Amino acid sequence: MTMSYNISSSEVEMEWWISSIPKVELHAHLNGSIRNSTLFELARELGEKGTIVFSDFEHVIKKNDRTLCEVFKLFDLIHVVTTDHKTITRITKEVVEDFAAENVVYLELRTTPKRNDSIGMSKRSYMEAVVDGLRSASSNILDINFSCDDLEKFSKLPTKKRIIVRLLLSIDRRESTASAMETVKLALEMKDMGVIGIDLSGNPTVGEWETFFPALKFAREQGLSVTLHCGEVPNSVEIQEMLNFRPGRIGHACCFQDEEWRKLKLYKIPVEICLTSNIRTETISSMDVHHFANLYKENHPVVLCTDDSGVFSTNLSNEYALVSSAFGLGKMELFQLARKAVDFIFAGNEVKMELLKVYESAARTLEYN
Ligand code: 5GP
């Protein structure tokens, strides 16, 4: 009895400690981060209206382990429930508040701008609904800095009430070159609303690199940062093309061969690591063979991320706890891992300096033993 009490109390203490470290989240999909309670509430409402059959929806949502392909079917289902302006605003607000509540101090939130003529939604109006969500979160609890004007106030805000949010617009692999280009142009138009980059995501078994390349190249030429979902399925040719593009970061890197690891390390491209997502979607068979261990040991740039905190029932603190238990990282290493993520954010130097101050201040107050 005493033994189990001791173990659980130290686990609780570690959980608390991890949740109080300032954290940086760089790979979070808006619709994948939806609160479960919100998802069920929205589905029930549509069920009552007869738009969907709630029990079918509930059955799919409650399933825990899904292959990567099943996850994309799930996203199509989630989008049926979430994609109207009011709901997108609500989800954005809640997602930002949830990250802030676990001490995420900087969030790059990504989402795929969607067009739905039947409800008068354009890619731009979708994104404006997202920005409205950021603004309403800001009036409640935190500081969304679009202009960087009052960044110096940031580090003085109480913990759990401060978060800087930037947006990445995702291109879905089902899109055409023209549609991808439209997303990039929208990102450029929305630079003064916190949009700083482009992501390529969606089902990795769909679409060709050549289709997206012109839009991604244009994005970079125009000063946007680019991150790519890379190597979620074995596809050496595409992985090499992506690495040769030298993106600012890549997500996942689960199915790399020796040559691809060599190139990744040579180019020092930071990797967004999503442990729970990789295990749940079976892109990595178990934690003990996860590539985090090798990349971390070799000091390759890595950042822990949630991917889809709602869909995979995780949060960023949980990802840090997993890394601690699976790979034996102690408090000091976890803190350094969190702080190092600042180097890989897409926002500029002003924001980086401010975040480093937050870490300096946390280092003075947190205990490491
Ligand atoms: P949204 O862009 O609608 O806000 O977020 C959900 C979308 O993000 C999905 O439809 C999918 O395109 C993308 N996404 C979410 N998780 C993953 C993932 O693990 N891998 C890939 N390739 N795409 C993802």
292 within 8 A of 302, measured Cβ to Cβ: yes
How many helices and strands, by DSSP H and E, does the chain display? 16, 8
CA 174 from centroid of its chain's CA atoms: 20
pLDDT digits (tens, 9 = 90+) for 185-219: 999 999 999 999 999 999 999 999 999 999 999 99
112 lines ligand 1 (CB under 6 A): yes
232 lines ligand 1 (CB under 6 A): yes
231 lines ligand 1 (CB under 6 A): no
- Within 8 A by CB and 6+ apart from 269, the residues are 243, 246, 247, 248, 249, 250, 301
Using the predicted structure, report yes or no on whether residue 369 has a pLDDT greater than 90. no
309 lines ligand 1 (CB under 6 A): no
% of the chain residues with pLDDT over 90: 78
Using the predicted structure, report yes or no on whether residue 70 has a pLDDT greater than 70. yes
Centroid of ligand 1 to alpha carbon of 86 (angstroms): 20
Catalytic residue among 108, 232, 319, 354: 232
272 lines ligand 1 (CB under 6 A): no
Edge-first strand order for the sheet with 225-230 is 23-29, 104-111, 164-172, 195-201, 225-230, 249-252, 271-273, 302-304
Is the C-alpha dihedral spanning 129, 135, 138, 144 positive or negative? positive
Go through the domains of the chain in sequence order and give each one's CATH number. Answer: 15-34+82-362 (3.20.20.140)
Using the predicted structure, report yes or no on whether residue 157 has a pLDDT greater than 90. no
Lowest mean pLDDT among 17-26, 48-57, 287-296: 48-57
Centroid of ligand 1 to alpha carbon of 214 (angstroms): 21
Centroid of ligand 1 to alpha carbon of 2 (angstroms): 45
Centroid of ligand 1 to alpha carbon of 351 (angstroms): 26
DSSP string, 50-99: TSS-HHHHHHHHH-----HHHHHHHHHHHHHHH-SHHHHHHHHHHHHHHH
Q: Provide the pLDDT for residue 85.
A: 97
Catalytic residue check, 232: yes
Using the predicted structure, report yes or no on whether residue 152 has a pLDDT greater than 80. no
pLDDT digits (tens, 9 = 90+) for 71-119: 888 899 899 999 899 999 999 999 999 999 999 999 999 999 999 999 9
123 lines ligand 1 (CB under 6 A): no
Pocket test for ligand 1, best of 92, 110, 112, 174 (most atoms within 8 A of CB): 112
Centroid of ligand 1 to alpha carbon of 205 (angstroms): 13
CA 285 from centroid of its chain's CA atoms: 22
Q: Which amino acid is at 303?
A: V
Centroid of ligand 1 to alpha carbon of 353 (angstroms): 30
Residue given tokens 């570690």 in the structure block? 14
First to last CA, the chain: 24
Q: From atom 3 of ligand 1, which residue's Cα is the shortest distance away?
A: 31
CA 270 from centroid of its chain's CA atoms: 14
306 lines ligand 1 (CB under 6 A): no
Of ligand 1's atoms, which has the minimum distance to the CA of residue 229? 22
202 lines ligand 1 (CB under 6 A): yes
Residue given tokens 């692999």 in the structure block? 173
CA 82 from centroid of its chain's CA atoms: 18
- Within 8 A by CB and 6+ apart from 156, the residues are none
Q: From atom 14 of ligand 1, which residue's Cα is the shortest distance away?
A: 202
Question: In degrees rounded to 5, what are phi and psi of residue 282?
Answer: 60, 25
- Within 8 A by CB and 6+ apart from 44, the residues are 54
Report the DSSP beta bridge partners of residue 107.
25, 165
The dihedral over CA atoms of 44, 109, 14, 283, expressed in degrees to the nearest 10, equals 80
* Cα–Cα distance measured from residue 108 to residue 148, given in angstroms and rounded to the nearest whole number: 15
Q: Provide the pLDDT for residue 126.
A: 98
Of ligand 1's atoms, which has the minimum distance to the CA of residue 173? 12
30 lines ligand 1 (CB under 6 A): yes
Q: Taking residues 159-175, what's their average pLDDT?
A: 89
Question: In degrees rounded to 5, what are phi and psi of residue 225?
Answer: -85, 155
